[in-house]
Amino acid sequence: MYGNVQFNKLNRSAGVFIGGTQISPLIKPVTELPEVAAFTVGVNTLSIPRNSTATIPAGDFLRIEIGRESVVRFSGGIYNATALRIDSAATVSFSAPTVINVTQDLVIEDNSSLTGTTVGASDVVINYSGTNTVAVGANAILYARIIAPNAAVVLGRGGEYRGFFAASEVSVGQTGKLSSDDASASSHVDPFRRR
């Protein structure tokens, strides 16, 4: 991790690097976690089959499911769904600032990649209002801001995670690399904006 860490108890797996200052004890709350405002989901599931290539326009969906080893581009804007599931080894990119609002399940499986093509980590915001654990698999690459005030976020081992993670609890697996939003990002997405 390239940054400062504030904690009362720190469980650090072998191979986890902290490049900044370690501050303990932590006096809670450090900050109030943002709330995720209500939003409306759609009635249709968007399912991208395995080994497919697709561009997803903004909209309201019941679920967004991206199949194994697929290559998908979010064209930008606001996406609302009850679930976002990205199967293993999928490549997801964002060509414009994007807000994804999810109510129930957020799963990103092993070896998947979520990065911007022309935007930075601070331009991709995933708001999660559910209480199930947000699971990001091993060796994943995730450049985004995840706001999950009622859930734990588990970032798998060996992954590269760049962005901002606001959750009731955040865990980073062994040899995972965590860094803050990239300095080159335009930062013009309002993470709390709703449609």
What are the tens digits of pLDDT across the range 51-67? 999 999 999 999 999 99
Domains in the chain: boundaries:
33-179
What are the tens digits of pLDDT across the range 133-178? 999 999 999 999 999 999 999 999 999 999 888 888 888 888 888 8
> Rounded CA gap, 52 and 50, in Å?
6
> Rounded CA gap, 119 and 57, in Å?
16
* Res 194 pLDDT > 80: no
Distances (CA, A) of 186 to 103, 159, 173, 190: 27, 24, 29, 11
What are the tens digits of pLDDT across the range 84-118? 999 999 999 999 999 999 999 999 999 999 998 88
> What is the rounded radius of gyration, in angstroms, for the C-alpha atoms of the chain?
16
